[in-house]
Structure formats: C-alpha cells, structure tokens
Amino acid sequence: MYDFALVFSLRHARREPPMALTREQIASIAALARLDLSSAEIPVYQDSLSRILDFVGALDRADTTDVAPMSHPLPGLSQRLRPDVVTEQDRHEQYQANAPQVAAGLYLVPKVIE
C-alpha cells in the first residue's frame, strides 16, 4: 500500500487543526449540487470531504506568487471560429427518444408556475 504519510508530510505544520465540515455544510453543498442525500449518507460525506479538503490543503505549501493559473494543457490554443452557417439537422425526435417524458415535441417536467 502506498505510504501516504509521505504526501501529508510535504505540508507545513498547519496552525489550525483540520477543519471538519458540519452536517449543515454538507446539506448546503448537496443542495447547491442538486443532490438528494439520505440522512445516513451525510456523515459519510462529512468524513470523506473533510479528509479530502485536508489532503488538498497540501497545496498551501507551494509558492505561487506571480504564477498564472493554468486552465488548459495546450498553451497558445485559441478559440476556433467557424462560418456562421447551419450545420445541424432537426433530429429532435431521435434525441427525445431518450427523454423520460415528452409530449408534442416538448420535454415534460412538474408544473413550475402555479
């Protein structure tokens, strides 16, 4: 098994103890992510997300003064443009064959406006 104390040891001794996420924080993250969690799932994610955040806290050790964020692995790639012409055909019937509920070419969802 990989000795992951090694990766942790890279970190400066942090002043504060690892922060544990509260039940409320997990519930609020889940709400933002539109995920329904059972009450049994919440403590599981409290534990593992706290540990993951503590683990990625190792990044604090790197000096990134004046370092530009890298969002993409190929430097200098610019957004490609194409001629503004119609290239797609109407294939909505084919696409909607995968939809849970469709009527008259429209996707059906529960009533939004009373």
Partner 1 sequence: MSAWHTSTLTQLAAGLRARQFSSVELVRACLDRIDASQAALNAFISVTRERALADAAAADRALAAGGGGPLTGVPIAHKDIFCTQGVRTTCGSRILDNFVSPYDATVVAKLRGAGAIMLGKTNMDEFAMGSSSETSFYGPVRNPWNPQLVPGGSSGGSAAAVAARLVPAATATDTGGSIRQPAALCGITGLKPTYGRVSRYGMIAFASSLDQGGVLTGSAADAALMLREMAGFDANDSTSVDTPVPDYVAALEQPLAGLKVGLLREFFDKGLDAQNEQRVREALKVYEQLGARLTEVSLPNLPLSVPVYYVVAPAECSSNLARFDGVRFGYRCENPRDLTDLYRRSRGEGFGAEVKRRIMTGTYVLSAGYYDAYYLKAQRVRQLINADFTRAFGSVDVLMGPTTPTPAFAIGAKTSDPITMYLNDIYTIGANLAGLPAVSIPCGFVQGLPVGLQIVGPHFSEARVLNAAHALQRATDWHTRVPQGYA
Residue numbers at the binding site for partner 1 (CB under 8 A): 1-4, 6-7, 10, 26, 29-38, 41, 44-45, 48-49, 51-53, 55-62, 64, 67-74, 77, 79-80, 82, 91, 94-95, 97-101, 107, 109-112
Query: Which residues touch 85 (CB under 8 Å, ≥6 apart)?
Result: none
Task: Choose between 17 and 80: whose C-beta lies nearer to partner 1.
Answer: 80
Task: Choose between 14 and 61: whose C-beta lies nearer to partner 1.
Answer: 61
CB 89, min distance to partner 1, A: 12
- The answer to whether the CB of 61 falls within 8 A of the CB of 12 is yes
Q: What is each CA distance from 68 to 53, 56, 78, 79, in whole angstroms? A: 23, 19, 17, 19
